[in-house]
Structure 1
């Protein structure tokens, strides 16, 4: 079983290496486009995608730790705590939570005239709760707590990205200009793809809880969804946006 776990983490490490390379290339392209025109929304998207890239990197680090069998003494120290948070995906979940909150700000700036006060506080309070849970509510080898963490972040994604998706589709249907339709479609693809990330991860964790060794097809679909979301936004929104006069 130990050998199988190491092998699966090696496969995950290789897979995530490709995901990181692709994400980094897209991020560099986005940075180049940002410096052409310096759109505020492009900068916000850049920060969001950077958070997702950091989430992938810390996920990759966790695979490296398991594959190399690097361990620390479980003495309750900060180092041991951070080690456990990285290995069990909690640091990645934290960066995803930050990205979701920033996506809410993006949604308001793109589609709304201002913040709905009640909704804003709900998003802020739930985001703080999610961050506290993924970083503090932790017990070594407690898969159930990990599943709850995934579900909490997934619910946060639904709270932000489902309304985002709905508004993007409405805007797509409400304009005739090709460049704007393309932009709104790309934002719809982004919101849908990002929602799929933690839905797939949550399913993967549930299957682990039920006895699977992990790294099911849902694990691979999760990070593929991230790439689809980033690429779709770059191709349909950021690249055309940087060409506007």
Structure 2
């Protein structure tokens, strides 16, 4: 067996192994937390399945992504894997009397860069947006994550906790999250601008790109709908929090998995050209 063939076989085994590792670690930690009597929505079986399953699906999708989208897809896979494992780990530590405040607050804010990287990975796979645009969106997501993590209250992992806070938010948190949400409109807007400038033959493939780019926005809309329904009591807080994990996982995995499917369509038009 040549060195190239051996390297190919090893590389092909890395991604399934990583996916299995994430799912196993999340499941073991969730079972451990439940056995310790600690209940948290991050250890709910449905929430664990959604978080770990999304991480595994994105990890397995890395080899099928175009080379230019692989770095961002790997970063997304890492964040999803950390998100799937860190929540149950924080619950286990809290139930064992070990306070891991940094882990708790980082976990509670990871959804911000996860949504951004999912959208960016899919659009880069289908288009070639300017590098400065992708870098700007990553910086905005990182800033929103940093502010949100620093504003999140610690100490909620040793009880039956939900995504509901105390209703207060600092001005910096509100501004950073608002700017982050606006940043998610940039890539769909760029795609729509191309559609308006393109001829009839090129518009159809660009529509596939536009549909993929709005998936994170639909996921966020679902999260906001859950928050609105939870306040009047239409949705139980614990159920709504688990549903948030399901929406986050489904959106992140869906946007990445749909990119290779839309790639043949997008490559048939002008999607690959720079603006």
Does the 8 A contact of 1:150 with 1:198 survive in 2? Answer: no
Does the 8 A contact of 2:44 with 2:242 survive in 1? Answer: no
Q: Say whether 1:171 aligns with 2:194.
A: yes
Cα–Cα, structure 1 residues 27 and 83, in superposed 2: closer, same or farther, change >3 Å? same
Structure 1 residue 212: deviation in Å? 1.0
Does the 8 A contact of 1:16 with 1:56 survive in 2? Answer: yes
User: 1:70 is matched with which residue: 71, 82, 93?
Assistant: 93
1:136 aligns with 150
Does the 8 A contact of 1:10 with 1:63 survive in 2? Answer: no
Q: How does 1:229-244 map to 2 (within 5 A)?
A: 229-237=255-263, 241=267
Paired residues in the alignment total 214
Does the 8 A contact of 1:193 with 1:229 survive in 2? Answer: yes
Q: What is the TM-score of this pair, normalised by structure 2? A: 0.57
Does the 8 A contact of 1:194 with 1:226 survive in 2? Answer: yes
**Structure 1 residues without counterparts, runs of 5 or longer:** 35-42, 75-79
Structure 1 residue 29: deviation in Å? 1.3
Cα–Cα, structure 1 residues 139 and 217, in superposed 2: closer, same or farther, change >3 Å? closer
Bigger radius of gyration: 2
Does the 8 A contact of 2:73 with 2:118 survive in 1? Answer: no
RMSD of aligned residue pairs (Cα, Å): 4.5
Cα–Cα, structure 1 residues 153 and 6, in superposed 2: closer, same or farther, change >3 Å? same
2:85 aligns with 61
CA distance in 2 between counterparts of 1:70 and 1:227 reads 28
Structure 1 residue 20: deviation in Å? 1.9
Give the secondary structure class of the aligned counterpart of 1:65.
Answer: helix
Does the 8 A contact of 1:193 with 1:225 survive in 2? Answer: yes
CA distance in 1 between counterparts of 2:118 and 2:43 reads 29
Structure showing greater relative contact order (alpha-carbon pairs closer than 8 Å, 6 or more residues apart): 2
1:46 aligns with 70
**Structure 2 residues without counterparts, runs of 5 or longer:** 1-36, 157-163
CA distance in 1 between counterparts of 2:119 and 2:255 reads 16
Worse-superposed segment, 210-219 or 45-54: 210-219
Q: What is the TM-score of this pair, normalised by structure 1? A: 0.62
